[in-house]
């Protein structure tokens, strides 16, 4: 048997992006979560919606349960059948799924979009944006917002971010 090297570098093991991708960075996982946000909870619903094989769906659902994103609950006793319900941690990923879909739609002409996000009360299309809740400013400007080492950073992470690109703004 040939050993396969880990796809994650040692210094990435503490990186929140790398660890998140370990949990949700796989094609089927994101699509299962998307279906869960649309209200699907049962194995057959996911399978029919996605056209995924039973073995792949079983594997992905087990991973999502093990990672605490879905909870497996019995909904029928004879025979026992289970549903998969989003946990609080799973529900907290909704803005990420919405942002990914919005990014995909932003590259299409309006008439080419097969799915859009709308306000549930007005039916009007919305344009999601990731913002700093304190200031309301969009976070998509990589010159205005940069990563730097946090309090728990290892020496390797501190080296990576040794010279933070913090820009000083002129006083007003």
Q: What is the mean pLDDT of residues 103-124?
A: 93
Question: Which range scores top for mean pLDDT: 19-23, 84-88, 135-139?
Answer: 84-88
Rounded distance between C-alpha atoms, residue 63 and residue 27, angstroms? 13
Is 36 within 8 Å of 90 (Cβ atoms)? yes
Q: Is the pLDDT of residue 167 over 90?
A: no
Confidence class for position 79, pLDDT limits 50, 70, 90: very high
Is 50 within 8 Å of 32 (Cβ atoms)? yes
Model pLDDT, residue 2: 42
What mean pLDDT is reported for the chain?
86
């Amino acid at each position: 048997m040939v050993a396969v090297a880990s796809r994650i570098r040692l210094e990435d093991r503490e990186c929140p992006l790398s660890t998140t991708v370990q949990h949700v960075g796989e094609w089927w996982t994101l699509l299962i979560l998307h279906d869960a946000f649309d209200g699907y909870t049962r194995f057959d619903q996911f399978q029919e919606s996605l056209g995924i094989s039973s073995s792949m769906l079983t594997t992905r659902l087990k991973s999502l349960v093990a990672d605490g994103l879905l909870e497996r609950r019995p909904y029928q006793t004879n025979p026992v059948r289970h549903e998969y319900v989003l946990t609080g941690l799973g529900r907290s990923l909704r803005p990420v799924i919405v942002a990914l879909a919005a990014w995909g739609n932003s590259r299409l002409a309006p008439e080419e979009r097969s799915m859009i996000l709308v306000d549930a009360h007005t039916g009007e299309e919305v344009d999601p944006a990731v913002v700093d809740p304190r200031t309301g400013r969009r976070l998509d400007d990589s010159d205005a917002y940069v990563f730097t080492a946090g309090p728990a950073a290892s020496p390797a992470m501190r080296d990576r971010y040794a010279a933070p690109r913090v820009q000083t703004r002129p006083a007003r």
